[in-house]
Structure formats: C-alpha cells, structure tokens
Amino acid sequence: MTNRGKVLKSTGKWYIVELDDQSIVNCRIRGKLRLDELRTTNPIAVGDIVTLAQGADDEENRVIEDFKPRTNYIVRKSTNLSKQKQIIAANIDRAYLLVTLHSPETHLAFIDRFLVAAESFRIPTTLLFNKIDQYNDEELEYINALAFMYEKIGYPCHKISAQSKENILFLKDEIYEKQVVISGHSGVGKSTLVNAIDPNLSIKTGEISKAHQQGKHTTTFAEMHKLSSGGYIIDTPGIRAFGIVDLNKTVLSHYFPEMRLLMDECKFNNCQHINEPQCAVKKALENDQLDESRYMTYMQLMEEDQDDIHRKNIYG
C-alpha cells in the first residue's frame, strides 16, 4: 500500500490526496499534527507532500501522519479576529497573478502587495493581463505601460484572453511538470483560464456581481488540479484584499527588486529609504528612475499596522 502522496484539496477536516501510484484517497490527520504549528489554523495545505499511516478504515479513508518540509508557501491572516494564519498553498514553482482593468478592477497597490508577498516567500511571479479582448485602444495602451513597468524590474507579463483562449498556449509549456498557483480577485477569470488550459477539468466559473463588480464566490478552498498535459494548477479563492503577514519592515525594501539593486549605494546600511540623507532609492525616485506607484506601496506597507485585526485581508 502506497504511503506517500500530494494534497490536492483541503476542506478543513478532510483532505483529498493523490498517492504516488496516481490513486486518489480521502484522508484525515493525526491529532498531534494540529499542535505542531500553533500559529496556523491548518497544519496541512494544498501542495504538501504527506506520509500516510499503514492501512485504511472500513470506508477506505487514510490517516496523514506527517508532511515533508516545504520549499515555500503562501499564507494569509485567518478571517477570524485571532492572530493566527492560514496556509493557502505549499511547494509552489511559480505564481500567476491575473489582472483586469475592470469587472473587477485590479489596483496597482494590490499587484504590488502580491508581488511583495511572493518575493518574501521566494516564489517567482508572472503577471497575466486578462480580458484583453474587452479593452479599447486607450486601455490597451495603459496595459502596455503597466507591462513595461513590471517587466523592467523582472516580472514577466503577458496579455491574454482566457475566454477566447487567446495567447495562453505558452502556459502549457511553462506549467509542464510544475506546481503553480493562479491568483487574483474574484471575477478576473481564474477558473476560466484553468478550463482553457485543460478543458477536461470543467471547473465551475462564477458571474460578476453587478453591485460590486467582483465575482461571486466560486472557490471556497484552494484546490490543486492535475493537468492532462502535465503539471498541477492551484486555483485559489479570489482575493479581495492582500495583507502582508509577518513581514519584517527593516528588510521590506529587499522585496522590491528595483530597490534591492540600489541599496548598496545608500549612505547607511540600514537605510529605510524615507528621510535618510544620500539615499539612492529616493534619488532614483526624484530622477524618475523608480516608479512612484511602487514607492507609494512601499510607504503604505512601512506605515501599516500588521497587527490591526480589523484590516481586511480576505479571499472572496
């Protein structure tokens, strides 16, 4: 009996695991695992490699005994008022953030927060500007400007239409034999994109809420889908807001690649790039060599109270 597998879905109490022999089993976890990570609400996450106890119960359910150390993971604050965190997904090779200009609108601050979080988790990220078939010339010009801004600091950008399957073929090659996560606001087209990459999956897609121009909730838990072309896609719940968890503000600038390149030129080794003299980052900002929107996000994060339990950081 195979005793190792990969977690495809977690619903809190039960886990769906793909074993090394490709079979799928339902699992629960040993109680002691819940004590190992006191600061997280879920000890096991989608993407984890787990070991199972020998044998199964009368209904063929298995028991997760342990999991292998993670290469990385994404966390968010729990939606309750505690200071606990929830692990969204683990062992990610690349993240793809879907961005739309409207229905719903993806703000630059949201993009930057996601990129900072991915940098802090050491997850390479690609930006996918979706629904390009719905934009006029002026909007497409704006997307080109955004793509130029992010590509020059090291983030690959692609203009796609998940609905019409336009410009998405490269994804199959990139995802092959990889474990990737697709994220973004509800309604940006995550499930539509996954279905376009692999039509055999037939993942449920949602409608756009007219009141809020955001998607209705179609994904409650992160779920990993195995592609027939090879590889795995983790479809996350739609994000309404993105808060940064456990981020050390003294090294926040390290998670902005364009700032990271300039830090050695600052007068002080511990320069925070705010009011310090002879700051290379501030000089680059003044000379239009650093984008103001990125620096504004940096300042917002520096000033933000991460312990504010009322600060919204939820998945819609």
Which pLDDT value is given to residue 104? 92
**Residue 217, pLDDT score:** 42
Q: Give the count of domains, the chain.
A: 3
Examine the domain organization and report whether 167 and 299 are in the same domain. Answer: no
* Average confidence (pLDDT) over 158-176: 94
Give the pLDDT mean for 156-162.
Answer: 97
Is 316 inside any structural domain?
Answer: no
- Identify whether residues 173 and 101 lie together within a single domain: yes
Residue 198 inside a domain? The answer is yes
Q: What is the pLDDT, as a whole number, of residue 164?
A: 92
156 and 200 part of one domain = yes
Enter the DSSP assignment of 69: P
User: Residue 226: which residues within 8 A CB-CB, separation 6 or more?
Assistant: 8, 18, 232
Check whether residue 178 and residue 289 sit in a common domain: no
pLDDT at 12: 72
Q: In the structure, what pLDDT confidence band is assigned to residue 306 with cuts at 50, 70 and 90?
A: low
Q: What is the overall mean pLDDT for the chain?
A: 84
268 found inside a domain? yes
Q: Could you tell me if 51 and 98 are in contact, meaning their C-beta atoms sit under 8 angstroms apart?
A: no
Same domain for 58 and 34: yes
Does 134 have pLDDT greater than 90? yes
Confidence at residue 74, expressed as pLDDT on a 0 to 100 scale = 83
Banded model confidence at residue 119, pLDDT cuts 50, 70, 90: very high
Establish if 208 belongs to a structural domain: yes
Residue 80 reports pLDDT greater than 80: no
- Give the CATH number, domain containing residue 64: 2.40.50.140
- 21 lies in a domain? yes
pLDDT at site 309: 42
The whole domain housing 77 covers: 4-87
User: Do 98 and 229 lie in a common domain?
Assistant: yes
For the chain, give the number of residues: 316
For the chain, give the percent of residues with pLDDT over 70. Answer: 81
Assess whether pLDDT exceeds 90 at residue 279: yes
Whether 141 shows a pLDDT value over 70: the answer reads: yes
**Model confidence pLDDT, tens digit, residues 24-36:** 999 998 776 654 5
Same domain as 184, residue 160: yes
Tell which of 46, 66, 87 closes a domain. 87
Percent of the chain with pLDDT over 90: 60
